[in-house]
């Protein structure tokens, strides 16, 4: 659970969800994405105490509980910690049941809820909403960057050491090779965020999920792989929609064709990403719909070309 120095005062802690840490000169610190509740945050808190480091702020890059879930444990340890997020992420963090409702498309049920242990988040509140651009925290400047797409409230955080924490905008190459049907809320926003990332002047990048720190040069290759993954599934869907097809049939094709691991939760994650791609194609006027025999069917409009 040791702190790993990246550069200057910027560190990270490896885990299922990587956590960032910026150490101030007064030996207080910011945690970026504390991860899930449980044993890991307790070990981190113990190690920080042993090194006389006091957490004063927590920044959450987005509204998924594998990133913010441990906030309450830090807050219980020190009630003066300020928890920060974007305005949109705040809505979901303070009302975690909304995520299940959004995923399932209505009231959630026990089959989905059993994947999300919500008790630790029942009284979690965001103390301050982060604005975009340069933000001063404890006399230090941090750059807050909008990275919408994976979720509507996703942000990146860059320290003065030019280390950029991107949350789940990107995943590691190893993970992408296994799980290339990315969980994306808005395809257009996601593509724009990938393009924005190419223009940012950072030197090292920390992924929410991945074993290695990414330097600027290597980031271009990883971004391209994410773009290819998105375009691959867009093209699969466009090929299937040469004939009218419903969402369930499309989803079955995607899962079977790509041999995707699937449990109840993952089924709805895949369905959410599929609907996002359909909505993207609808907004581009590439896809239309018909209702036949009470079934909603989508189809690709004529004269549409495949993405290369």
How does pLDDT run across 74-97, given as a tens digit for each residue? 999 999 999 999 999 999 999 999
Q: Delineate the domains of the chain, giving CATH numbers in brackets.
A: 4-229 (3.60.15.10), 236-300 (1.10.10.10)
Confidence grade of residue 49 (pLDDT, cut at 50, 70, 90): very high
Half-sphere exposure of 223 (CA within 13 A, CB side): 20
pLDDT number for residue 71:
96
> Residue 44 above 60 pLDDT?
yes
Reported confidence tier of residue 248, pLDDT bands at 50, 70, 90:
very high
Residue-wise pLDDT for 126-136, tens only, equals 999 999 999 99
Q: Is the pLDDT of residue 120 over 50?
A: no
Half-sphere exposure of 291 (CA within 13 A, CB side): 1
Cβ(130)–Cβ(154) below 8 Å: no
| Model confidence band, residue 115 (pLDDT cutoffs 50, 70, 90) | confident
Task: Please give the distance of CA 280 from its chain centroid, rounded to a whole number.
Answer: 19
Query: 87 and 81 in contact (C-beta within 8 Å)?
Result: no
Task: State residue 2's pLDDT score.
Answer: 85
Mean of all residue pLDDT scores within the chain: 94
**pLDDT (average), residues 281-290:** 97
Per-residue burial over 215-239, b if 16 or more Cβ lie within 10 Å, else e, is: eeeebeebbebbeebbeebbebbbe
pLDDT at position 116: 82
Q: Which of 58, 69, 66, 85 is nearest to 153 (CA)?
A: 85
- Res. 118: pLDDT tops 70: no
For residues 209-234, average pLDDT? 97
Choice among 32-46, 127-141, 291-305 with the minimum mean pLDDT: 291-305
% of the chain exceeding 70 in pLDDT: 95
pTM of the model: 0.94
Higher-pLDDT residue of 240 and 2 is: 240
Q: Sign of the C-alpha dihedral, residues 222, 226, 227, 232?
A: positive
Q: Is residue 1 scored above 70 in pLDDT?
A: no
pLDDT of amino acid 121? 46
Q: How confident is the model at residue 173 (pLDDT cuts 50, 70, 90)?
A: very high
């Amino acid at each position: 659970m040791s702190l790993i120095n990246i550069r200057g005062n910027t560190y990270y802690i490896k885990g299922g969800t990587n956590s960032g840490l910026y150490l101030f000169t007064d030996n207080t610190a910011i945690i970026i994405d504390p991860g899930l509740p449980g044993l890991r945050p307790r070990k981190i808190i113990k190690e920080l105490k042993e090194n006389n480091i006091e957490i004063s702020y927590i920044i959450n890059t987005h509204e998924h509980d594998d990133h913010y879930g441990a906030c309450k444990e830090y807050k219980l340890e020190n009630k003066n910690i300020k928890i920060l997020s974007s305005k949109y992420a705040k809505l979901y963090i303070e009302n975690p049941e909304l995520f299940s409702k959004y995923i399932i498309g209505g009231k959630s049920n026990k089959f989905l809820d059993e994947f999300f242990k919500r008790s630790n988040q029942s009284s979690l509140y965001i103390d301050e909403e982060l604005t975009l651009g340069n933000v001063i925290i404890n006399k230090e400047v941090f750059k807050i960057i909008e990275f919408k797409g994976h979720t509507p409230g996703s942000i990146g955080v860059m320290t003065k050491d030019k280390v950029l924490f991107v949350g789940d905008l990107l995943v590691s190459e190893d993970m992408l090779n296994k799980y290339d049907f990315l969980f994306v809320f808005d395809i257009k926003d996601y593509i724009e965020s990938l393009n924005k990332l190419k223009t940012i002047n950072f030197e090292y990048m920390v992924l929410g999920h991945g074993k290695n720190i990414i330097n600027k040069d290597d980031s271009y290759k990883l971004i391209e792989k994410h773009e290819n993954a998105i375009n691959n599934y867009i093209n699969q869907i466009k090929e299937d929609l040469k004939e009218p097809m419903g969402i369930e049939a499309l989803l079955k094709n995607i899962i079977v064709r790509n041999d995707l691991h699937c449990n109840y939760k993952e089924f709805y994650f895949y369905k959410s990403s599929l609907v996002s791609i359909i909505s993207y194609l609808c907004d581009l006027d590439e896809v239309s719909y018909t209702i036949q025999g009470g079934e909603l069917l989508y189809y690709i409009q004529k004269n549409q070309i495949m993405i290369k």
